[in-house]
Amino acid sequence: MAATFERHVDVHVPVGEAFERWWRSFEAGDLSEDVDSVEPAGPQLYRWRAHIAGIEEEWIAEVTELIPGRRIAWTSRSGASNAGCVTFHRLGDRHARVMLKLQFDPDGWLETLGAWIGLVDWRVEAALEAFKLHLESDAAARSARSRYARRYRQPRHGRPDASSSATTGR
């Protein structure tokens, strides 16, 4: 019996940035604290190792669909049986929705119980929220650096810009 989980999170970054960060996190295995490692295993294949609810899991996932800026889909080819997709939807210039659908076949009574009581659902939601926080905190830091650089820009001759508040005291 397959268990399916669907969740979404709205992020305050452009849709393209959300996609790029998800893809980099997918390749690096940084999407969940449950993931121990992700390694390339061939063209569009990745070997995942994770500890989920204290159980060590390993599987080979194949990326079955990759539409830049819009969708990533995968399915396991060996090991822990799972599949899923993540889609990215533009809600505004700097606002996107990340939707995740994950399906897995619980192996044994403990995994079945975990799915039944909502443990997996909770972990999926926590991973999405962590992704949102990481993504938005990085975006805020870049924005602050950009504002600082504009305010205290240096002209080519190396002296502070006369119009900046740093030199005029205003």
Q: Give residue 121's identity as a one-letter amino acid code.
A: D
Contact predicate 46/39, CB 8 Å: yes
Residues, the chain: 170
pTM of this structure: 0.74
Rounded distance between C-alpha atoms, residue 108 and residue 29, angstroms: 25
- What are the domain boundaries of the chain? 3-151
* pLDDT(23) > 70: yes
If one counts every other C-beta atom within 10 angstroms of the C-beta of residue 52, the result is 17
- 45-75 per-position pLDDT tens digit: 999 998 876 778 899 999 999 999 999 999 9
Contact predicate 112/53, CB 8 Å: no
Rounded distance between C-alpha atoms, residue 45 and residue 70, angstroms: 20
The H-or-E segment that residue 11 falls in is strand 3-11
SS3 label, residue 69: coil
- CATH code linked to domain 3-151: 3.30.530.20
Identify the residue with better confidence: 26 or 153.
Answer: 26
